[in-house]
Amino acid sequence: MSSISSATGALVTTETWPGSYGFQIDRPAMAAMDKEKASDAHYSNLLDKLFCDVNKWFSVRFVIHSPPTGSPIPIEELNIRAMVVFTSTDDLTSPVIRCPNHKSPSDPINKNVTDPDQLEHVLWTNSQAEYERNESSGRLSTKVK
């Protein structure tokens, strides 16, 4: 697990900022999950939050636009970093980690984990990911290409 930047520091923003690539979560696709009979996740348009069952997989789709002319970073080199945050202002600066029971190596969901640092992460992916920790804030994030 590697140390990472201030993007995962103690005072993170929860505001939407699409940047020069127009990055956004495909909220209509998220809302469509509710129409699937076997969906293990529910996206609330009203709250702008995703609720999911523990240890269940769900898809998240992202949309980006063409980079601005002369952009120094090609789209192929961009990463998506996801981080779970508390929404209560009292807890906003606290990192979200798995409870002791679920991060135990003996928990059945952890049987295929090869990196012990991944155990405390709440957010996992089924693709190649980097599970990172900001050493100063204790925040955990998951980064995928």
* CATH number for the segment(s) 1-13+75-145: 2.60.40.720
In the chain, where the domains are located: 1-13+75-145
Mean of the per-residue pLDDT values for the chain?
82
| Predicted pLDDT of residue 33 | 64
In the predicted model, what is the mean pLDDT of residues 81-89?
A: 87
> Using an 8 Å Cβ cutoff, are 140 and 132 in contact?
yes
User: How is 98-115 classified by DSSP, letter by letter?
Assistant: --TTTTSTTSGGGTT---
Query: Is residue 3 over pLDDT 70?
Result: no
Residue 5: pLDDT band with limits 50, 70, 90: low
Q: Nearest 5°: phi and psi at 19?
A: 65, -170
pLDDT of residue 113: 85
Q: What is the pLDDT of residue 38?
A: 58
Cα separation of 46 and 44, whole Å?
5
CA triple 29-35-41, angle to 5 deg: 70
Confidence of residue 95 (pLDDT cuts 50, 70, 90): very high
pLDDT at 34: 62
Kindly state the percentage of the chain with pLDDT values over 90: 8
